[in-house]
Amino acid sequence: MKDAQSNTKFQFLSPSLRAVLPDILKNTLYVFSLQEGCLELLVRSVLWTPLKRAGSFINAMKLTQKLIYIFGIFGLLGLVIFGLGLTTQYFAYPVSIFMVIASLSAFSQKHSPYSVWNAIGLSSILAGLSVWFLNPAALFDVLIFASGIVPAWALGMVALNRLLKNSHFSDSPFAYRALSETQPKLSLLLFLSFLGLVGFPISPAFLGEDLLLSHASSEGAWFALPITIAFVINGISAAKVFQRLCLGSPNELNVNVIEEKTI
């Protein structure tokens, strides 16, 4: 009976390997396949961890430093563009870089849902602005995209304001607050704004994202890459906000707060 179960478990191996390999190596290969070749660890170390570190470096900078860099880069670029008589199309490149930077800031922000929400909104607006600089004829499509992003961002800010009223989120940022059970209506509003902000097909932003990527790829396939990356990171960051606030058990926050006070 045991041999039959073992043979069934290792069906993914060829009959010759099942007959030759020792049981220890069979079990090792079986566990390795269940872990998908440690793919999660590889993706985390190669992709997510560097992105979080980059975002943490950005968030550690003071607001004045960020403004100095932004205005300095745009001012210098503006002098070069207008001095050489170039088109404003070249403004699209630094704007797309700032778009990705805003997304990284949202991705690594853990202590303020407002900062995450604002960074996602800023990144989305910069995505539309970069496409408009790249192709001024795409203004109408950019406005379609913005007509879905701006209301979703505003609705999310209102929902966050009411959900976190008299609440100190930074005291226990990793606790699941289960507000979907205690405040279901406001949680639903936050969920709808989350869907609209990430371009789910309930708002014009869904169509707008496709239009932006279409214009970006038509001007240069490489230019669509940072916009795509920003959209993906924004979706993950917004989902983390909703997850921390609205999911979980109502008792978890109380337990975590008690544990933190006793430490």
Q: Ranked by mean pLDDT, which of 29-38, 56-65, 163-172, 185-194 comes out on top?
A: 185-194
Contact criterion met (CB below 8 Å) for 112 and 169: yes
Q: Hey, what long-range contacts does 50-53 have (CB within 8 A, 24 or more apart)?
A: 51/104, 51/107, 51/108, 51/233, 52/107, 52/108, 53/108
Tell me what pLDDT residue 88 has.
72
pTM of the model: 0.74
Q: Is the pLDDT of residue 73 over 70?
A: yes
Contact criterion met (CB below 8 Å) for 157 and 114: yes
Q: Strands (DSSP E) along the chain, which ranges?
A: none
More confident residue, 3 or 175: 175
Rg (CA), the chain: 24
Tell me what pLDDT residue 151 has.
92
Q: Which of 195, 189, 201, 202 is nearest to 246 (CA)?
A: 189
Q: Is the pLDDT of residue 23 over 80?
A: no
Residue with tokens 């932004």: 70
Stretch 36-48: mean pLDDT: 68
Give 257's pLDDT tier (boundaries 50, 70, 90).
very low
Q: Rounded to whole angstroms, what are the CA distances from 93 to 107, 123, 127?
A: 21, 14, 11
Tell me what pLDDT residue 152 has.
92
Q: How far apart are CA 121 and CA 194, in angstroms?
A: 11
More confident residue, 26 or 97: 97
Tell me what pLDDT residue 124 has.
92
Residue 125 — φ and ψ, nearest 5°?
Answer: -65, -40
Q: Is the pLDDT of residue 208 over 50?
A: yes
Q: Is the pLDDT of residue 154 over 90?
A: yes
Q: How far apart are CA 154 and CA 61, in angstroms?
A: 26
Q: Which of 119, 96, 98, 105 is nearest to 52 (CA)?
A: 105
- Kindly tell me the burial class for residue 263, based on how many C-beta atoms sit within 10 Å of its own C-beta (0-12, 13-18, 19 or more): exposed
Task: Give me the chain's average pLDDT, please.
Answer: 78
